[in-house]
């Protein structure tokens, strides 16, 4: 597949799934704008992308803030000339029992994981529609399809992302623009490591035992990798995926069937 000449914005591109997705897009020839809050991480990913022979820029923004997202896309367009591909990868996943979920946790998770996807997608749909080509890929979660204890805000945000995905896909169906979600199960990333560390801190269980339980949640008895998720993101960005829209595709070893 070639994405030469395409211009991509990847939010949450500083590490984990977003980082690998940004680099896969660059390897396929797309110019990339890599966005997150931690400058050093996005700068390093932009350097890696440039080493693959494309143009790349590192941008800092808090995706939960509408004004940051506006500024982010103004900068991205200034550098790239336009946006053909948007990967909404930024996300956070604090955990708490439902009744002990604080207002702050609720609002911050909804702001980044759901409003951030809305703000960013709203920025790009008009130009994609006008150009007659575009790809939006939302990194949701199987928590967007099913419930699990202790993730009320996270599950609500990811269910919301799947709703946004369907509506945007239908509005764009005749415009050459597809909008899809990928739904990973547990992925080997810093987010999962932090989740494990939180369980260890709260319960005193051994990290290895917690990790094993997460692995055993999947029929494949393993976590998936960022590379596996990024491969699906890349596929959805290609011309050959033009018939796939409004979908939420699991990468979870069969956890949710």
Which residues contribute to the site for ligand NAP (CB under 6 A)? 11-12, 14-18, 36-38, 41, 61-64, 89-93, 112, 139, 141, 184, 186-187, 189-192
Verify whether residue 150 is a known catalytic residue. Answer: no
Residue 230, judged by CB atoms within 10 A of its CB (0-12, 13-18, 19+), counts as buried
Q: If we measure between CA atoms, which residue out of 40, 98, 86, 36 comes closest to residue 64?
A: 36
Q: Min. distance of Cβ 159 from ligand NAP in angstroms?
A: 12
Cα gap 244→40, rounded to integer Å: 35
Q: Which residues, 6 or more positions from 51, have their beta carbon under 8 angstroms from its beta carbon? A: none
DSSP letter at 11? Answer: E
Q: Angle between the 66-80 and 116-131 helix axes, to the nearest 10 degrees?
A: 30
- Of 63 and 128, CB closest to ligand NAP: 63
Q: Min. distance of Cβ 186 from ligand NAP in angstroms?
A: 4
Give the CA dihedral 252, 28, 135, 152, nearest 10 degrees.
Answer: 30
- Of 10 and 30, CB closest to ligand NAP: 10
- Of 48 and 62, CB closest to ligand NAP: 62
Q: Min. distance of Cβ 142 from ligand NAP in angstroms?
A: 7
The one catalytic residue among 24, 154, 234, 255: 154
- Of 190 and 208, CB closest to ligand NAP: 190
Q: Min. distance of Cβ 94 from ligand NAP in angstroms?
A: 11
Catalytic residue ranges: 154
């Amino acid at each position: 597949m070639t994405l030469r000449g395409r211009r991509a914005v990847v939010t949450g591109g500083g590490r984990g799934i977003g980082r690998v997705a940004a680099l896969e897009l660059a390897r396929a020839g797309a110019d990339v704008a890599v966005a997150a809050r931690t400058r050093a991480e996005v700068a390093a990913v932009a350097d890696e992308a440039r080493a693959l022979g494309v143009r790349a820029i590192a941008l800092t923004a808090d995706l939960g803030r509408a004004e940051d997202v506006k500024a982010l896309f103004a900068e991205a367009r200034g550098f790239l000339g336009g946006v053909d591909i948007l990967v909404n990868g930024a996300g956070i996943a604090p955990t708490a029992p439902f009744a002990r979920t604080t207002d702050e946790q609720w609002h911050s998770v909804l702001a980044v994981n759901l409003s951030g996807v809305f703000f960013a997608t709203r920025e790009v749909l008009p130009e994609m529609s006008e150009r007659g080509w575009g790809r939006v890929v939302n990194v949701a979660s199987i928590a967007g399809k099913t419930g699990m204890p202790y993730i009320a805000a996270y599950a609500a945000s990811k269910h919301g992302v799947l709703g946004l995905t369907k509506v945007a896909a239908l509005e764009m169906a005749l415009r050459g623009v597809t909008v899809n979600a990928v739904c990973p199960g547990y992925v080997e990333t810093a987010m999962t490591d932090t989740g494990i560390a939180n369980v260890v801190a709260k319960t005193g269980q051994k990290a290895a035992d917690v990790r094993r339980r997460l692995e055993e949640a999947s029929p494949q008895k393993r976590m998936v990798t960022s590379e596996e998720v990024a491969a699906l993101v890349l596929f959805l960005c290609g011309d050959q995926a033009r018939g796939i829209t409004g979908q939420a595709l699991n990468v979870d070893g069969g956890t949710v069937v």
